[in-house]
């Protein structure tokens, strides 16, 4: 219950910040992606600098999380192919919609009805991803073999 309240509260701060900074206005995002407006990059840079300092400081001091009491820590992930491929797919969608997951729900909450389409698309994209991941590995390689055989016959 307390974890839910914390998540809702911090999410609300995030939602206000996105709205206040106009990161939910597709034209503003487009201007930033056209490099006419540095605001997005300054915002992300500041956020990462604050996040970096805060998390390093807490880890160095051995602070424990308020809920769960576990020592604050994280694992650094090695880059893999999926980080490039997935991010490239994501980048195309972001550029076309001029919106990404947090702004999409913020737009919806502000009554922007066009974002119903984007929101539904995200859900379907995630469902497609989950199904793809759940497909058993042997079936996937069989499909590949079949594909190759068909190619050779052609």
Partner 1 sequence: MIGLAVGLVTVALFALLNQRVGVVGGYSNLVERVTGRTSRLGWKAWFLFGVMGGALVFRLLAGTSSVGDGYGWLTRSFGSHAYAAVGGTLFAAGMLVGFGAKHAGGCTSGNGIGGTSVLSPASFVATGTFMATAIAVTFVLKAVA
Q: Restricting to residues 41-100, which ones interact with partner 1 according to CB under 8 A?
A: 42-52, 54-55, 58, 63, 65-68, 70-80, 82-100
Nearer to partner 1, 69 or 152 (CB): 69
Nearer to partner 1, 132 or 151 (CB): 132
Candidates 123-131, 135-143, 145-153 — which segment interacts with partner 1 by CB under 8 A?
A: 123-131
- Encoded tokens for 127: 């469902």
Residue 2 beta carbon to partner 1: minimum distance, rounded to whole angstroms: 9
Nearer to partner 1, 7 or 149 (CB): 7
Q: DSSP class of residue 112?
A: -
Which residues share a beta bridge with 71?
64
Nearer to partner 1, 76 or 150 (CB): 76
**Residue 135 near partner 1 by CB under 8 A:** no
Residue 135 beta carbon to partner 1: minimum distance, rounded to whole angstroms: 14
Nearer to partner 1, 84 or 149 (CB): 84
What is the distance between the alpha carbons of residues 29 and 97, in angstroms, rounded to a whole number? 10
Three-class SS of 39-85: HHHHHHHHHHHHHHHHHHHHHHCCCECCCCCCECCCCCCCCCHHHHH
Residue 59 beta carbon to partner 1: minimum distance, rounded to whole angstroms: 9
CB 71 within 8 A of CB 64: yes
In degrees and rounded to multiples of 5, residue 64 shows phi and psi of -100, 150
In degrees and rounded to multiples of 5, residue 61 shows phi and psi of -80, -5
Residue 149 beta carbon to partner 1: minimum distance, rounded to whole angstroms: 27
């Amino acid at each position: 219950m307390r974890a839910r309240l914390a998540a809702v509260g911090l999410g609300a701060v995030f939602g206000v910040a996105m709205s206040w900074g106009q990161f939910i206005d597709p034209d503003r995002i487009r201007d930033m992606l056209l490099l006419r407006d540095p605001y997005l990059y300054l915002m992300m840079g500041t956020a990462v600098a604050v996040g970096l300092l805060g998390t390093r400081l807490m880890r160095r001091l051995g602070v424990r999380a308020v809920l769960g009491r576990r020592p604050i820590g994280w694992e650094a992930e090695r880059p893999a192919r999926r980080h490039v491929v997935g991010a490239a797919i994501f980048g195309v969608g972001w550029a076309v919609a001029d919106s990404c997951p947090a702004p999409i729900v913020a737009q919806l909450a502000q009554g922007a009805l066009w974002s119903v389409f984007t929101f539904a698309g995200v859900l379907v994209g995630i469902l497609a991803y989950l199904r793809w991941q759940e497909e058993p590995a042997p079936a996937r390689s069989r499909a590949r073999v079949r594909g190759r055989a068909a190619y050779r016959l052609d």
